[in-house]
Chain A
């Protein structure tokens, strides 16, 4: 495929999409009290950044952006596993995962 896909779409559309997706993630972190939804918002933010990495990898015709996306996926998987385990143990101790209830640091 000789013609670049970005000739049809344009890198700025991908930039705008990623920016709005990232802002939605920030909005979710600020807006909700449920800690699981906060985690999902963090995933949305990570995905926005990954999408921009892939778009610029296509723009520069370089594979290194995609390799970076692999590593960020590995980190995201590790982060979600540990975070959800922490949430489960918080739920066992407190009975809720409302982040506004997690004010005290004693058990």
Chain B
């Protein structure tokens, strides 16, 4: 068992455990904090795959921006109390059954498709440094890149419009 495999196993265990804790913890703030740990471990996976730029972007966007947004919303709504009622028992049972069946089916599919996966080639070619990524992003994917900025602008305007307080109410 090589060192890399051990690191991968530890990171995977952290990822899955914190993802489960996100769902099962009663307090929404605890959920958000577990989700931060989950995102950091996914960034660790990216680092393990040697895509450093993506790991940094992931930490900045997810662990930074999105989680701060979540925490602010939770605190804005004053939800940090643990009085949430559960779903009816039959629904929860259905969710557990659905989870198990979906895992079973997908994992069975990928185990059976394993012979298709060929050997891994390592040409030593640089394909994931910032230099190469920037070239691909700004040459081949120029138009989607610009559309992403329009999407973010639209999202910003929509958010401001939606969360503005209406004075005529009350």
Residues of A bordering B, CB below 8 Å: 1-9, 11-17, 19-28, 30-34, 36-37, 39-41, 43-44, 47, 50-51, 54-55, 57-59, 61-64, 66-67, 69-71, 73-82, 84-89, 91-92, 97-98, 100
Contact = CB atoms under 8 A, between A and B. Distances in A.
Given A23-B99, A71-B148, A97-B79, A84 B155 contact: no
Nearest to A78: B155
Contacts, number: 224
A55 B4 CA distance: 15
Contacts of B158: 82, 85
Contacts of B8: 9, 13
Given A19-B107, A61-B127, A80 B66 contact: yes
A8 B5 contact: yes
Contacts of B77: 87-88, 91, 97
B156 A81 contact: yes
A66 B54 contact: yes
Contact of A54 (B49, B94, B96): B49
Chain B: interface size category: 35 or more
